[in-house]
Each structure stands twice: as structure tokens, then as C-alpha cells.
Amino acid sequence: MTFTVTYAQRDGGGACLRLAGELDMSTAPELTAVLDRLTEQGERHLLVDLAELTFCDSTGIAAFVRGDNRATARGGWLRVTGATGRVERVLRLTGLAEVLGYPPDTGHPTARSAP
């Protein structure tokens, strides 16, 4: 499956990214480039929808952490939402579900998800 990254402005500011396909060492640079471009353009709040992501390896995890670090350095955040299956399992095993999670019922993206 081909990897794609699309994004749009969110109501109230920030950007919502949608990932589809497999995020691995060959596709992570594409995500990193988009995250870097958005933060360089002044976006501080990045919400990443993983509902259509079918696979994520350690380079994908590193891209999320790097994106969050860049956003945090600018006073913002990166949060992930919608992960299912293997992707959700990887996020939980690495602890990122708690650190970067954005549950659908959370009122504010800076809130952390419950373990």
C-alpha cells in the first residue's frame, strides 16, 4: 500500500494530518518533511490521524517524537489519534499512546490519554 500524508487547517488553529498506508524507513522521511515544513511555517499544534495507517516501525515512531519535539520547542504539541490494530499496539508498547495520545473524548489536545 502506498503511503500518503495529507493535511488541512483545523478549526481553532493548527493542522490536522492524515496518514494512510505503511510508515516505515522508506516513508518516514516524507512525514518528517511535512512536519518540518509545517512547524517552519509557524504551525505549533499538529494533530495526526492514524485511522488509515496500517503499519508503523521504529522510524515512524521516531518521526512522531521528532515532530513533537519540534512543536514543543515552539510552544506547541503533536498528538496522535485514531490508531487501530498493529499501529495502536506499537504506540502502547512504546509508551507513546500515553505521551502523544489524543483520545476522541478529550476536550483539549494537551491532555494525556489514560493508560
**What residues does each domain of the chain span?**
4-100
pTM for the predicted model, two decimal places: 0.86
Banded model confidence at residue 102, pLDDT cuts 50, 70, 90: confident
Residue pLDDT, tens place only, 20-68: 999 999 999 999 999 999 999 999 999 999 999 999 999 999 999 999 9
User: Residue 74 contacts by C-beta under 8 Å, 6 or more apart in sequence?
Assistant: 39, 42, 44
Q: Please check the confidence at residue 88 and state whether its pLDDT lies above 70.
A: yes
Class of domain 4-100: alpha beta
Any idea what the Cα angle at residue 98 is, between residues 92 and 103, rounded to 5°? 100
pLDDT score, position 112:
40
